[in-house]
Structure 1
Amino acid sequence: MASTSSFSWANPPDKRYDVFLSFRGEDTRSGFTSYLYAALCEKGFSTYMDEHKLERGDEISPTLLKAIEESKISVVIFSEKYASSTWCLNELVHILECKKNNGQIVMPIFYGIVPSDVRKQNGSYGMAFAEHEESFRDRIKEVHQWRAALKEVSNLCGLDSKNFR
C-alpha cells in the first residue's frame, strides 16, 4: 500500500502527487527513504512511497506506473544495489519518459554511492550490468535502455547523501 500526505496548494487535475520516490527497498526503505518521506510529508508535500516488498521477477504494477505519471517531481535515490533491481531500472525508464513527455522534474540523490559509478556503471553498478547482460541476452535492447537512463539521470543536478550527515 502506498503512503501519501496532502499538499496545501491545489494540484493540477492530472497531478495527484508532488513527489514520487524511486528507491531500492532493501537498501534505503527503513532508513534514508523513510526519513525523507516523513520530512516531505511534514512540509506538506503529497508524496508517493511504494510500500510493497517485491519478489524477483515481479512486474511493475499499473498503479505504480500511474503514480509516476501523476507526480510533478521524481526523486531517484541511487544506492549500492539500485542497478541490481530490474524493477528500479524499468521504473527509471518510465520516469524519464514522463520527464520527456510531461516535463516532470527528476532529481537524483546519491546515497552511499559515487555519482560517477552510476554514470559510468562502475563498481556495484558494473557488476549488476554484467549479470543483466547475461540474463537478458535475448532482450539486450532493454539493458542498453537501462544503461542510457542511468547515465542521463546521473548527469542531472542532484544531491549527494554525504551532504546530509
Structure 2
Amino acid sequence: MASSSSTSSTNLFVADHPVGVESRVQEVIQLLKSRQSEDPVLLGIWGGGGIGKTTIAKAVYNEIHRHHFEARSFLLNVGEVWKQDNGEVSLQKQLISVIRSSSRRITINTVESGKRILQERLPRWKILLVVDDVNKKDQLGALCIRRKWFGQGSIIIITTRDHDLLRWLQVDHVYTVNAMNDSESLEATTQALIIYFLFLQERFYDVFLSFRGKDTRERLTSHLYTSLQNAGIYVFRDDNEIQPGEKISVYLLEAIRQYRICIVVLYSNYASSNWRMQELEEIMKCRRRWGLVVIPVFYEVDPSEVEHQTGWFGDGFERLISRISMRNDMRRNWKEMLLEIGGIAGFIFPNSRNGNEYIRILVEHVKSRLSQSGPFY
C-alpha cells in the first residue's frame, strides 16, 4: 500500500540532492513559531503537482519531530490510499496506532467507528501529524482533521493542491510553494547534469588501465591503450603525473569501482611508489569484494619477483618502506597484496621484442572476458 506512517524518532528520507529545500523549511518553521498560545496549530502547504510540497513537509517533520511530542505520524499519499479498497479505514488505523494508550487490539470495521475512536483519543495527545496530498473534504473528515479534535501543543500540517480545502479547514497559516528562482533552477540543472554525466561515466569505460611513469608508457602502455581502443574497448588510462607525497584521489578510488576489468602493468620500479601501491590496494579490494577482473601484465619482471618482493622489484619495495612511515600491519597487508597479484595468471612481457604479438593476445583475452555475461569472478 502506497502509504507511510512514521511513529518513531527516525528521520524520513527527503531527497538525494535537494535544492532550495532548506530555505523553505526555515520559512515554514518560522510560521509555526509565530503561534501565540498552546492551541493546536494547523498549517497548509499549498502548490501545484510536483513542485515539492511533500519534500518540504518531510524536511519540516525531520526538523521538529523530536520536540517533546507525545505522538507523531506522517500519512503519505492520502489521496492515493483513499482510492484503494478499504483505504479510508486503513488511514484511520495508521493514525490510531500512534495514539493508543495500551497494547489492546482495536477493531475498526467502518469509517464511522474509526472517527469515534479518533474523536475520543486525539484530544488527549500532543501530536505532530502530517497529512500528505489531501484532495477531498471527506479525507479530512474521516481523519478528524479539525482544530477541536487535537490536544494542546499539537501541530497538524496538510499538503494539498486545493487552496479551497485549506480555507474550509480554517488553517492558521498557508505556505505557498513557489517555483524555484533562477539561482535554484541553475543549481538543480547543474546537479542533474552531474548525475547524468556520472551515470554515463559508470557505463562508458570497460577497462581501467593502471600504470605509472615513463618506464612503460612509450614501449608498452601507449600501444596497448591504442590497440584496446581500436578493438572497440572503452579504456580509462590512468597516466596522470602526481607530485611526490600526494595522496591518491578519492575520485580515482571511486572510479576504480565502476570498471569491469582492470589491467595492472607491473615492472621493476613499480613498488617504489607509494601512490602506485595505494592504487593497487584499492584495485585488489575491488577484486575481493565485487569480483573485479584483474589482469596483471608482468613487463620485464618475473611474477615470482612480484610475489616474493625479490630482485629489482623487491629493491624498489624496500626503498619505499624505508622512505615512508608505515605501520607493521600495513606493510604486511601490502606484502600479502603483492603475493596475491603475483599469483594471478596474467601476461608476461619479457621484453619489447614481439610486443605486438603479446598485445594482440592480451586484447583478444580482454574481448573474450568482456563478452561473458554476468559478473566476473
TM-score, normalised to structure 2, is 0.39
Measure, in 1, the Cα distance between the counterparts of 2:263 and 2:315: 24
Indicate whether 1:118 and 2:299 are aligned.
Answer: no
In structure 2, give the amino acid aligned to 1:91: E
In structure 2, the partner of 1:49 is 237
SS at 2:241 equivalent: coil
**Alignment map for 1:51-66 (pairs within 5 Å):** 51-66=239-254
Deviation at 1:50, TM superposition (A): 1.8
Deviation at 1:66, TM superposition (A): 2.2
Deviation at 1:38, TM superposition (A): 0.6
Measure, in 2, the Cα distance between the counterparts of 1:99 and 1:15: 18
In structure 1, give the amino acid aligned to 2:322: E
Equivalenced residue count is 155
In structure 2, the partner of 1:35 is 223
Compared with structure 1, are the counterparts of its residues 138 and 104 closer, same or farther at alpha carbon in structure 2 (3 Å cutoff)?
closer
Measure, in 2, the Cα distance between the counterparts of 1:32 and 1:138: 32
In structure 2, give the amino acid aligned to 1:36: L
Compared with structure 1, are the counterparts of its residues 35 and 20 closer, same or farther at alpha carbon in structure 2 (3 Å cutoff)?
same
Deviation at 1:23, TM superposition (A): 1.4
In structure 1, the partner of 2:320 is 132
**Alignment map for 1:81-92 (pairs within 5 Å):** 81-92=269-280
In structure 2, give the amino acid aligned to 1:59: K
Larger deviation: 12-21 or 120-129?
12-21
CA RMSD across the alignment: 2.2
Deviation at 1:136, TM superposition (A): 3.6
- Of 97, 100, 112, the residue aligned with 2:285 is 97
Deviation at 1:124, TM superposition (A): 1.6
In structure 2, the partner of 1:157 is 345
Higher CA-based Rg: 2
Contact 1:22–1:77 (CA under 8 A) maintained in structure 2: yes
Compared with structure 1, are the counterparts of its residues 127 and 12 closer, same or farther at alpha carbon in structure 2 (3 Å cutoff)?
same
In structure 2, the partner of 1:141 is 329
Measure, in 2, the Cα distance between the counterparts of 1:52 and 1:132: 20
In structure 1, the partner of 2:133 is none
In structure 1, the partner of 2:214 is 26
Deviation at 1:116, TM superposition (A): 0.9
Contact 1:16–1:70 (CA under 8 A) maintained in structure 2: no
Contact 1:23–1:76 (CA under 8 A) maintained in structure 2: yes
Deviation at 1:161, TM superposition (A): 0.8
Measure, in 1, the Cα distance between the counterparts of 2:347 and 2:310: 19
In structure 2, give the amino acid aligned to 1:148: E
SS at 1:70 equivalent: coil
Measure, in 1, the Cα distance between the counterparts of 2:276 and 2:294: 15
In structure 2, give the amino acid aligned to 1:57: G
In structure 2, the partner of 1:5 is none
In structure 1, give the amino acid aligned to 2:215: D
In structure 1, give the amino acid aligned to 2:238: D
SS at 2:296 equivalent: strand
Measure, in 1, the Cα distance between the counterparts of 2:334 and 2:229: 30
Deviation at 1:158, TM superposition (A): 0.3
Structure 1: gaps of 5 or more residues: 1-10
Measure, in 2, the Cα distance between the counterparts of 1:30 and 1:150: 25
| Cα deviation code 1:25-50 (max 9, x no counterpart) | 22112220111111111111111112
Measure, in 2, the Cα distance between the counterparts of 1:73 and 1:146: 21
Compared with structure 1, are the counterparts of its residues 13 and 34 closer, same or farther at alpha carbon in structure 2 (3 Å cutoff)?
closer
Deviation at 1:53, TM superposition (A): 1.0
Contact 1:133–1:140 (CA under 8 A) maintained in structure 2: no
Measure, in 2, the Cα distance between the counterparts of 1:24 and 1:14: 23
